[in-house]
Amino acid sequence: MRDAPGGRAADVPRFVRLESWVEHPPAEMARRAADFRREVARRRTVREFSSRPVPRGIIEECIRAAGTAPNGANHQPWHFVVVSDPEVKARIRVAAEEEERAFYGGGAPQEWLDALAALGTDEHKPFLETAPYLIAIFAQRYHLASGGHRVKNYYVQESVGIATGILITGLHRAGLATLTHTPSPMGFLNEILGRPANERPFLILVAGYPAEDARVPRITKKPLDEIATFL
């Protein structure tokens, strides 16, 4: 039997009933929205990690959740490489710190460095070795169809960004801290992790427990009336 587009067998119906939908009464919706807001508002980006191990199943489950993200044409243009091997983490640290030395040592415009001053970041990235997991997220600009020809992906940055947001939120909800780390350029990740040319590194998500004495910058989030307009 020939497969229809999307891997669907030709005699399988194109649409199915929306069976997964769950409706909540308005009061319950309000409670759930507020609970969620409180839960995500507790999330802080952490830069000091503990080396305490984390069961791999938690990471797997959160990546499964990320893989449900809405995305362009349902091509699911992402790949997650989960690194726990200390040798691979060490190689990533060496390569990332090399880029960061160039960035902080004169590559970045002064305006950018001034903007980062409040976060206290510098070229030293020990968390790349300390944290139990580095999740390298790749965005697939195109993929190869079964015949070997290139098929373009759509809204790749948006799709991978949304999936990454779900991943971060899932890890937080499970009880893990994360850090979005973006050394620039990140081409070294393709080489170290053996990823193909159609994949661009999107970011490294560092995941684990915070160090016991972890500190975070004193920052605030904008209030609703600054970030939203209701017409």
Q: Rule CB under 6 A: which residues touch ligand IYR? A: 100, 103, 116, 119, 121, 181-183
Q: Would you say 66 and 82 are in contact if contact means Cβ atoms under 8 Å apart? A: no
- What is the smallest separation between the CB atom of 44 and ligand IYR, expressed in angstroms? 13
C-alpha angle with apex 46: 45 to 49, nearest 5 degrees?
Answer: 155
- What is the smallest separation between the CB atom of 119 and ligand IYR, expressed in angstroms? 6
- What is the smallest separation between the CB atom of 115 and ligand IYR, expressed in angstroms? 7
Alpha-carbon span 123 to 101, nearest angstrom: 5
- Residue for token digits 């970030």? 227
Report the residue number, 170 or 183, with the smaller CB distance to ligand IYR: 183
- What is the smallest separation between the CB atom of 123 and ligand IYR, expressed in angstroms? 7
Report the residue number, 65 or 108, with the smaller CB distance to ligand IYR: 108
β-strands 177-181, 78-83 pairing: unpaired
Residue number of the CB closest to ligand IYR reads 121
* Residue 191 three-state SS: helix
Report the residue number, 116 or 151, with the smaller CB distance to ligand IYR: 116
Q: Which residues contact 194 (CB under 8 A, 6 or more apart)?
A: none
Report the residue number, 132 or 183, with the smaller CB distance to ligand IYR: 183
- The candidate with the shortest Cα–Cα distance to 211, out of 35, 50, 17, 24, is 50
- What is the smallest separation between the CB atom of 122 and ligand IYR, expressed in angstroms? 7
